[in-house]
């Protein structure tokens, strides 16, 4: 009997979002459990929010207060070491993530196998250790911790300024918008036709769409 056809799952994301980190880790844990081909697609959340006429939830005072309380509970539930920075507004809305997402895009085009560890290390910097993720030296340090060589990092820092990288990031951002994206993460499950899901709390639904079993945030765990 032939093996079931692997289903493609696209994960459109921006590391400026802590909720996206939860979803990222869960999908990385399940990519070898479920019969899926996981495609990591860095996009620019600022562009998504602007084109979709969306408003960051943290800009609604009561919601913002709630979100940063909830994040601590979710960090424990998902077993992801999120620690909010001292000044989330500066991190998310002043510094932003455009250089960061271009760097990840450059890494993707140079060696796609490094996208997962580089993205994870950037999340560790911003949402665990309250460190910068936009300055070139910050990107270099993240690259080194993720296993890139000095030469690879130098190449990515150079290429992230070039038009092909900017175009690729814009391409992924536009692809997400065409699916109907309005925030990060945007998950697209290809099951005959594409099905879009948003956020880090839709995994039981994603499992149903994929005809797979949801076994909690850590598959195989008895906790």
Confidence band of 200 (pLDDT split at 50, 70, 90):
very high
Residue range 27-42: average pLDDT? 97
- Whole-Å CA distances, 198 to 2, 62, 100: 32, 22, 22
Indicate whether 58 pLDDT > 90: no
Residues 148-165: pLDDT tens digits? Answer: 999 999 999 999 999 999
**Domain ranges (residues) in the chain:** 7-13+34-210
Predicted local distance difference test score (pLDDT) of residue 211: 96
Architecture in CATH of 7-13+34-210 = 3-Layer(aba) Sandwich (3.40)
Predicted local distance difference test score (pLDDT) of residue 220: 87
User: Does the pTM exceed 0.85?
Assistant: yes
């Amino acid at each position: 009997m032939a093996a079931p056809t692997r289903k493609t799952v696209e994960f459109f994301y921006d590391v400026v979002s802590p909720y996206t980190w939860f979803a990222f880790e869960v999908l990385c844990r399940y990519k070898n459990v479920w019969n899926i081909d996981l495609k990591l697609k860095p996009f620019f959340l600022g562009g998504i929010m602007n084109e979709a006429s969306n408003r960051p939830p943290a800009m609604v005072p009561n919601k913002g207060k709630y979100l940063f309380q909830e994040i601590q509970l979710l960090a424990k539930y998902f077993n992801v070491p999120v620690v909010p920075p001292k000044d989330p507004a500066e991190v998310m809305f002043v510094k932003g993530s455009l250089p960061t997402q271009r760097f990840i895009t450059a890494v993707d085009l140079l060696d796609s196998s490094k996208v997962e560890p580089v993205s994870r290390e950037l999340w560790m910097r911003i949402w665990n250790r309250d460190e910068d993720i936009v300055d070139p030296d910050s990107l270099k340090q993240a690259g080194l911790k993720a296993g890139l060589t000095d030469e690879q990092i130098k190449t990515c820092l150079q290429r992230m300024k070039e038009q092909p990288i900017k175009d690729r990031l814009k391409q992924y951002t536009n692809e997400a918008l065409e699916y109907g994206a309005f925030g990060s993460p945007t998950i697209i499950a290809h099951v005959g036709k594409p099905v879009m899901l948003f956020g880090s709390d839709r995994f039981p639904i994603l499992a149903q769409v994929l005809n797979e079993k949801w076994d909690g945030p850590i598959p195989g765990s008895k906790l």
